[in-house]
Structure 1
Amino acid sequence: MMKASMTGFFSRCQALGAVATFFLPRRHRGTEFSDSFPAGTLGTRERYSRQGRWQPLIRCLLTLMLLAVGPRAWAIFEFIDTVGGAIDLETYDDSVTTITHTFTVHYRACTGASCASSSQANYRLAISDDGVYNPNQLNVSRLQGVMAFNGTAPRVKPNGKHNKPITPAGGWTHGSDKGNGFDHGNGSSALIEATYTIKLNNIEELKRIAMSDDPYLRFYVNGEVLARKNENIYPFEKYSAEAVKIKLNYPPKYRVSGLRDLAMDSRDFPGQAYYSDQMDFCIHVSRDPRYYVARVWGQNDYGQFILKNGGNSVGYEVLFAQSIGELDSATPQTGPFQQIDFNGHESVDCKSYTENNAAIRVRIKKEDVPTPGIYTDTVTVMVGAT
């Protein structure tokens, strides 16, 4: 008896399910909604097609629910894309404590079976660490480490008007009560463009991110359709989240300073068969890792180390090291060379040149001393990334 009753109920539900299929919007037919957020999604509610014997019954139960709660509107919030440039951190010196950055998002917010021209909706916006939906308080614990939430920022400005702060931290631009939210009016199905303005106040952390293997500031923007006064909406697609990533550029800066002219004259270094001169100087690299490549070449004859005086010339040698004391063990060079994996100094002038970290020696064999006169060459030292 029980089996017969259930069979009859199931049959009636199948018929009612067919009615539900006809009247439901096409985008929701044969769909079961899930609140889970699979890996790789932006946190928006994903739809999965579940064809099978229970689908008519599900349609039936859904239809009964619709009839029980009365007429409502379908709510759709859909992010389309985000547009924003990179942040070049090297343009900000140590005196800067806050960086203001803007980016834009495009989206649709509407009610009804589709985003038709007559079905625009009220909505609200937010910003958060992730795409997980929480209507009351979004998670911003990570963002608060680099972004100001002080009542003036972040702000969002849809369609060039209604510049609205997102406060308090983790909140929305508006409360969830009926009639709240941005209202861009009816009569247009065009995309909405909103400009977000954020203030980043932890420059050192941004630099750390920029130097990592993933040099992006990552977060989400969030949107939710709100019911207007005297309106009820279904919650299935009223919320959406869009991933935002902002490239952080922070290439290292290199500086060579403290150089002077060298003169190979009658001065002699004990135990050596050369006339020579030497000096130490400073090589600065702005950030870790501070390794650099030093490329060294002369002015004459394709970079060879040759002194010239009119038609007369004589070769000389160049030695390069990280200190005066290390020059004795350096390899003499007679032409262009490079030295890799030396360490730059964090101070731009090696602490007023008291901690110089590079040294160069030029020398000429005594037996090669040319006809008396002034012989010159220019040695270039160029430092760059390894």
Structure 2
Amino acid sequence: MPRGKKSGRAASGDGSIRKKIVKKNGKEYTYWEARYTSGFDPKTGKQKQHSISGKTQAEVAQKLREVTAEIGQGIFQEACKLTVGQWLTAWEQDYLVGIKPRTQEAYRSIIKNHLQPELGAARLDILNAHTIQHFYNGLRKKGLSPKTIKNIHEVFHEALQQAVMIGYLRVNPSEPCALPRVVKKDIKPLDDDAIRRFLEAVQGHRFELLYLVTLFTGLRKGEVLGLAWDRVDFDKGTLLIDRQLQRAKDETGERRYSLVSLKNDRWRRITPADFVMELLRRQRSRQAERRLRAGPAWEGGGLVFTNEAGGHLSHHTVYHNFKLVVASIGMPEIRFHDLRHSFAVASIRSGDDIKTVQGNLGHATAAFTLDVYGHVTEQMKQASAQRMEGYIKRVLDL
């Protein structure tokens, strides 16, 4: 905007309010401007000058009263001049530290593929809930699932919350946004007949012991692949689950495997069935034989389940072989994670209380466990009611 002519006298009150007239394309435009100071620049020692503009003197005076009140109360925050894109870049570089490599990779993918292209050019300090809501609605129209949109929101909300914490924003504009409802997928645990067929199909398979340990402990894939012998206590019959084998991009962009802590560092110690401990003894014997055959070529990483040279197994190899097994018995839809669900359902039906199941699975709360497997307890209640009904009928017939 061209420099304009100053007109009028300063209004009474805090700061200075002036009427300004500018010429543009042969026409005169009038607006009001207030100038105020918010303190001193620690580097130069000079006062920090700010301005507020508006169409009317009353509008500018109201804004000036509000900002000077904030300065007096010590809660004033200078307007942030960053764009959303600039802040996301800074947040990614400086604040995404100490989190797992795969989580970093997921965050960066969301920032690069969704947040930067759509919202990167917007000014951070004037970003509002409606703009963000419109962005979320657009993602839904593009065909993204409610779960994916929820993931995008969680990353964006976290980034904006950090901006609030360091004073770039007063409130988090993503807080009031409405998200599409995520429909929980039905779990598909193996029933007793399917488990028997699965056990027959994996007999003699190279990953037989791995699959059986997973099925009868409920460990996640990364947890069972990251299990080490120093976490197995044969004397006490326990397993310490505190690490997982994870594959993610490193600083160079190359995907590598690494042992990382569990989600939220929530380690657990479980006491599996004696059958599981016997499986692990068999695995230890098999591994000892492989070590002798490999000789100096043995990598010796200390993992329970390894390749022929003692190195870690590939997630893809383990999953691909699993899918071939379940397809061979007519259940191609079964996922590796369904072994975990099968363990949980079997535990509940065997009489384990929810708190015990929660601890064995490593869930954060028993409420989450109930949310996932509540249908199983409902079925058990119905079965219990039917048994009671039969008992009552037998008593009345006496």
TM interval, shorter chain, is under 0.3
Compute the TM-score of the two structures, normalised by the length of structure 1: 0.25
Compute the TM-score of the two structures, normalised by the length of structure 2: 0.24
Greater RCO (CA < 8 Å, at least 6 residues apart): 1
Higher strand proportion (structure 1 or 2): 1
